[in-house]
């Protein structure tokens, strides 16, 4: 029984939450696992996992996650602990605070970017 509980807790942290195309959500989402958004979300997203925004996915609001891959649209502040990956169809309007940045040609970014542990020297 202990082994089953251990397996359950290991897989529960690896859950993938999917917001399908045609789904509109107004509100906040908090998750431990990965999230994929192909629909529209107006609100805050917070996850300790990876966030994927598909080509038709849209988020208006604040995002806080471990890593993100964007093919769709973001309007709002984004905080990413590790990698912020913008695909060629990505459109991001807002300030981003990130660990690392990857941008494909064709993507659009309007806002301020703070990357890495760049604290000012005293």
Q: Could you read off the pLDDT of 77-104 as tens digits, one per residue? A: 999 999 999 999 999 999 999 999 999 9
Question: Mean of the pLDDT values across residues 58-71?
Answer: 97
Q: The tokens of 111 are what?
A: 């806002």
Q: Is residue 94 part of a domain?
A: yes
What pLDDT score was predicted for residue 69? 98
| Residue 101 covered by a domain | yes
What burial class does residue 43 get, using C-beta atoms within 10 Å of its C-beta: 0-12 exposed, 13-18 middle, 19+ buried? middle
Range of the structural domain that residue 6 is part of: 2-115
Would you say residue 121 lies in a domain?
no
Tally of structural domains, the chain = 1
Examine residue 6 and state whether it is found in any structural domain, yes or no. Answer: yes
CA atoms of 71 and 54, how far apart (whole Å):
5
pLDDT value of position 116? 82
Looking at residue 105, the DSSP 8-state letter turns out to be T
Instruction: Answer whether residue 93 is part of any domain.
Output: yes
Task: Examine residue 122 and state whether it is found in any structural domain, yes or no.
Answer: no
């Amino acid at each position: 029984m202990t082994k089953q509980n251990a397996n359950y807790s290991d897989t529960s942290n690896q859950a993938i939450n999917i917001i399908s195309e045609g789904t509109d959500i107004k509100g906040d989402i908090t998750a431990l696992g990965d999230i994929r958004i192909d629909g529209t979300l107006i609100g805050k997203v917070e996850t300790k996992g990876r966030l994927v925004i598909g080509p038709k996915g849209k988020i208006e609001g604040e995002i806080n996650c471990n890593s993100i891959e964007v093919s769709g649209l973001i309007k709002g502040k984004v905080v990413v602990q590790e990698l912020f990956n913008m695909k060629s169809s990505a459109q991001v309007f807002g300030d981003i605070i990130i660990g690392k940045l990857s941008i494909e040609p064709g993507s659009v970014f309007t806002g301020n970017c703070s990357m890495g542990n760049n604290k000012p020297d005293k």
